[in-house]
């Protein structure tokens, strides 16, 4: 398959981090990590309005792979030392006049604070800009999620505004602060700009909040 074609999730590597497409056979390992880090993840987890709250990891992987096959998502698992430590999903991929996508992510608490997520966000964003030809990448975060706000700040994602009661998270509709980058803001790439210390962290500042 053409590695740059819509519907293909590439393998991206930086240092000890490998991001590759999720597979059905990851379900057991993924479920184990999700269970181990249940308390850590729950406040930030998307939920189905009116749903039972029951987990279906196989169903969720199947759904992601269906979206990937349609070319609207790239569902990565994050692998360190041969173990799955988190996920990053590029979803809502649109081409044409919009050419935009959304990023979502989590890592287990045992690897938090090592820069895994910003590295993964930078790798995925650079791939989407340079190989898929997308123009804009968006990340939406609950205003209370300080670690995730720090990720967009480190990478210089620009604050766009607050969407009220935007996504159903942890059992209710939650406000989200939205951040974005467009391709022309990062001509040398997101990873390189970050590594070279060229990020203006104030881009993510939220008026009145910092």
Residue 182 sits in the site that holds ligand COA (CB under 6 A): no
Residue 113 sits in the site that holds ligand COA (CB under 6 A): yes
Residue 148 sits in the site that holds ligand COA (CB under 6 A): yes
Q: What is the distance between the alpha carbons of residues 99 and 155, in angstroms, rounded to a whole number?
A: 20
Structure-token pair, residue 210: 């910092």
Q: Binding string to ligand COA for residues 23 to 62, with x set by CB under 6 A, is what?
A: -----------------xx--x------------------
Which pairs with CB-CB distance under 8 Å and at least 24 residues apart come from 131-135? 131/3, 131/4, 131/10, 132/4, 132/6, 132/93, 133/95, 133/99, 134/93, 134/95, 134/99, 134/100, 134/101, 134/183, 135/98, 135/99, 135/100, 135/182, 135/183
Q: Binding string to ligand COA for residues 88 to 107, with x set by CB under 6 A, is what?
A: -----------------xxx
Cβ neighbour number for residue 17 with a 10 Å cutoff: 20
Residue 168 sits in the site that holds ligand COA (CB under 6 A): no
Report CA 67 to chain centroid distance, whole Å.
Answer: 15
Structure-token pair, residue 13: 């590597």
Q: Which helix (H) or strand (E) holds 70?
A: helix 57-70
- Closest separation between CB of residue 201 and ligand COA, Å? 10
Residue 156 sits in the site that holds ligand COA (CB under 6 A): no
Measured from the CB atom, the residue of 4 and 206 that comes closer to ligand COA is 206
Measured from the CB atom, the residue of 6 and 168 that comes closer to ligand COA is 168
Residue 116 sits in the site that holds ligand COA (CB under 6 A): yes
Report CA 151 to chain centroid distance, whole Å.
Answer: 10
Among the residue ranges 54-62, 142-150, 160-168, 198-206, the one whose residues contact ligand COA (CB under 6 A)? 142-150
For the chain, the straight-line distance linking the first and the last C-alpha, in angstroms and rounded, comes to 45
Residue 151 sits in the site that holds ligand COA (CB under 6 A): yes
Measured from the CB atom, the residue of 141 and 186 that comes closer to ligand COA is 141
- Residues making contact with ligand COA (CB under 6 A): 40-41, 44, 105-107, 109, 112-118, 141, 145, 147-148, 150-151, 154
């Amino acid at each position: 398959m053409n590695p740059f074609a819509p519907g293909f999730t590439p393998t991206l590597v930086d240092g000890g981090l490998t991001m590759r497409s999720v597979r059905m056979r990851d379900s057991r390992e993924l479920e184990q990590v999700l269970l181990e880090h249940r308390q850590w993840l729950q406040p930030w987890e998307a939920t189905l309005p009116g749903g039972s709250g029951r987990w279906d990891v196989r169903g969720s992987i199947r759904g992601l792979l269906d979206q990937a096959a349609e070319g609207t998502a790239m569902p990565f698992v994050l692998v360190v030392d041969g173990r799955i430590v988190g996920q990053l999903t590029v979803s809502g991929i649109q081409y044409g006049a919009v050419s935009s996508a959304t990023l979502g992510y989590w890592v287990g608490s045992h690897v938090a604070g090592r820069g895994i997520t910003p590295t993964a966000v930078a790798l995925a964003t650079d791939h989407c800009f340079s190989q898929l030809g997308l123009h804009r990448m968006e990340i939406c975060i609950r205003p209370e999620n300080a670690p995730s706000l720090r990720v967009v700040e480190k990478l210089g994602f620009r604050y766009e505004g607050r969407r009220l009661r935007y996504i159903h998270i942890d059992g209710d509709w939650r406000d989200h602060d939205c951040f974005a980058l467009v391709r022309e803001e990062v001509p040398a790439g997101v990873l390189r700009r970050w590594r070279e210390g060229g990020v203006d962290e104030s881009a993510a500042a939220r008026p009145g909040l910092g």
